[in-house]
Amino acid sequence: MSRPVSKVREAKLELYRKRGKIHAKASSGRFNTLRWAMVWFTQIIFYGTCWLNWESDGLSRQAVLFDIAHEKFYLFGLVLWPQDALLLAYLLIIAATALFLATALAGRVFCGFACPQTIYTMIFSWVEAQVEGDHLARLKLDQSPWTARKLLLRTTKHGLWFVIAAWTAITFVGYFTPVRDVLAALPGWQVGPWEGFWLIFYCAFTYAMAGLAREAVCQHMCPYSRFQGVMFDQTTSTVSYDAGRGEPRNRRQQAGKTGDCIDCNICVEVCPTGIDIRDGLQYQCINCGLCVDACDQVMTRIGAPTGLIRFASERELAGRPQPQGWRERPRVAVYAGLLVIFAVFGTLTASQRSLLLVNVQRDRGALLRETAEGRIENAYTLNLMNLAEAPRDFAVEVQGIPGLEIVGPREFAAESGSIRPVQLTVSAPADSGLRGIQPIEFRIVARQDPASGQVEKSSFILP
């Protein structure tokens, strides 16, 4: 005897909702296209950038490299040092604020379109679908006993997943150790201990997160999914079901008696996190828009307007217009304001960045020395830090007292990225008419870049 239709349908839905692995039905549409565009965009950058080289001073190096051993971060023509940590801090703050702003405007769009977990889950799921077939074939395979075919399909899938995970790990490590060196060291496992650790860890991490854990990461592990609700308000546009239009749902539509939802459940079948958006806003929803694509196609098929499921705010669903002024959207205004402020400060910091750092210390052991020629001498230590990518020669001048001059050499070479300590003796005439502690200035200029001078204040002691 066959089971009643509703029970069969309910059992089928349960497969998507709670039990075991979620095998989402493949979907198409504008949000699906946008998601794949993000996959291509981000992964071409990630897998490709580490292979680019940059010519500098006749030398070729990897264009983007976090050289931890030498405490440098190469970004094409830019070389950042630990002293530039403030710039990095600005960059991180700007990225975080932009994420908050995007969340306040459009909910979890980052999760649905740009999060690495989403991107790699999409890639791994695509591989799975190519090997094992569509969602129904995969469900069937899951429930079937182990046969030679199942073993072959599973081995192929896991093998391909491993290759992608391994290549992702090599690429990741390749941003910290030149990727060509990493690749050359792999045969015979000649990599260093840290490279070896990160290769294994990142490979296993990618494999486990994107292949095995998938949506469970978004639902149970990701802390951002838990606290981003505080950035939502009534004007935040999230993927929503228009219950006013859709209910009462019914598979057999009756004009005037039922809503537009025909209860086909396709929106549930395509959902990568296995939820039913018709149950309302849920923390598991990553705002991927796949249910929007699916429902739009259903609506088109039955001749109803699209948008039964759409990006909409609570206000819009309640039939109130979306506010345009910032006063009614305080969260958006605050995040946008912070974004502008941090972007301005970050740009100012970057524009004032100097490739020379100087520290001047007066020798406090011997306050002053009087010479036979009737001059007064003070001793100083200058630390010249060359942040340029090439060796540079620095000319040092001193001013502030009539007749003030440097005794001995006034030009000093410093290697790239090195600190050159310099002992300097500065002399002033004893009969200058000045007494006690007098302010003076050291001016340091790179011969290779005369436009960039740096002035450091200090003091000179006279009797």
Cβ nearer to ligand SF4, comparing 62 with 238: 238
Q: Residue 12 to residues 139, 150, 217, 262, 265: CA-CA distances in angstroms?
A: 10, 22, 24, 17, 10
Q: Report residue 224: phi and psi, to 5°.
A: -65, -35
In the region spanning residues 159 to 198, those forming contacts with ligand SF4, defined by CB under 6 A, are none
Cβ at position 246, least distance to ligand SF4 in Å: 6
Cβ-based nearer residue to ligand SF4, 21 or 61 = 21
Is residue 261 within the footprint of ligand SF4 (CB under 6 A)? yes
| Nearest partner of 100 among 236, 2, 193, 301, judged by Cα | 236
Task: Please tell me the distance from the alpha carbon of residue 114 to that of residue 110, in angstroms, as a whole number.
Answer: 5
264 binds ligand SF4 (CB under 6 A): yes
User: Largest Cα–Cα distance in the chain?
Assistant: 120
Site for ligand SF4 in 267-286 (CB under 6 A): 267, 270-273, 275, 277-278, 285-286
User: How far apart are CB 241 and ligand SF4 at their closest, in Å?
Assistant: 6
Contact with ligand SF4 (CB under 6 A): which of 63, 99, 213, 266? 266
| 230 residue type, one letter | V
Q: Closest CB to ligand SF4 among 295 and 426?
A: 295
Window 100-129: residues binding ligand SF4 (CB under 6 A): none
Q: How far is the CB of 176 from ligand SF4 (least distance, A)?
A: 34
Q: How many chain residues are in contact with ligand SF4, going by CB under 6 A?
A: 30
Choice between 38 and 343, CB closer to ligand SF4 = 38
Q: Which residues contact 427 (CB under 8 A, 6 or more apart)?
A: 371, 375, 376, 377, 404, 405, 406, 407
Q: Shortest distance, CB of residue 344 to ligand SF4, whole angstroms?
A: 35
Taking the complex as a whole, the smallest distance from the CB of residue 345 to ligand SF4 amounts, in Å, to: 36
Q: Is 289 in the site for ligand SF4 (CB under 6 A)?
A: yes
Asked whether the beta carbons of 298 and 262 are under 8 A apart, the reply is yes
247 binds ligand SF4 (CB under 6 A): no
**Residue placing its CB nearer to ligand SF4 in the complex, 174 or 272:** 272
Closest separation in Å from C-beta 3 to ligand SF4:
21
Using CB under 6 A, pick the residue from 67, 181, 263, 314 that binds ligand SF4.
Answer: 263
Q: Taking CB under 6 A as the rule, does residue 401 contact ligand SF4?
A: no
Q: Least distance to ligand SF4 from the beta carbon of 206, Å?
A: 22
**CB contact at 8 A, 294 and 270:** yes
Q: From CA 297, how far away is CA 266, in angstroms rounded?
A: 10
182 vs 286 by CB, closer to ligand SF4: 286
Q: Given the complex with ligand SF4, which of 218 and 428 has the nearer CB atom? A: 218
Query: For residues 246 and 417, which CB has a smaller minimum distance to ligand SF4 in the complex?
Result: 246
The binder of ligand SF4 chosen from 105, 288, 358, 424 (CB under 6 A): 288
CB of 292 to ligand SF4, least distance (A): 7
* Interacting residues of 392 by C-beta distance below 8 A, sequence separation 6+: 355, 356, 386, 413, 414, 416, 446, 447, 448, 449
Distance (Å, rounded) from C-alpha 268 to C-alpha 279? Answer: 11
Q: What's the closest the beta carbon of residue 215 comes to ligand SF4, in angstroms?
A: 8
- Residue 221 vs residues 214, 231, 319: alpha-carbon distances, Å: 10, 19, 35
Task: List the one residue from 291, 312, 332, 422 that touches ligand SF4 (CB under 6 A).
Answer: 291
Q: Which is nearer to ligand SF4, 177 or 273 (CB)?
A: 273
Give the nearer residue to ligand SF4 in terms of CB position, either 242 or 389: 242
Q: Are 240 and 106 spatial neighbours (Cβ–Cβ below 8 Å)?
A: no
Footprint (CB under 6 A) of ligand SF4, residues 217-246:
239, 241, 246
Q: How far is the CB of 278 from ligand SF4 (least distance, A)?
A: 6
Q: Which lies closer to ligand SF4 via its Cβ, residue 294 or residue 424?
A: 294
Site for ligand SF4 in 304-363 (CB under 6 A): 308-309
**Where along the sequence are the contacts to ligand SF4 (CB under 6 A)?**
239, 241, 246, 249, 261-267, 270-273, 275, 277-278, 285-291, 294-295, 298, 308-309
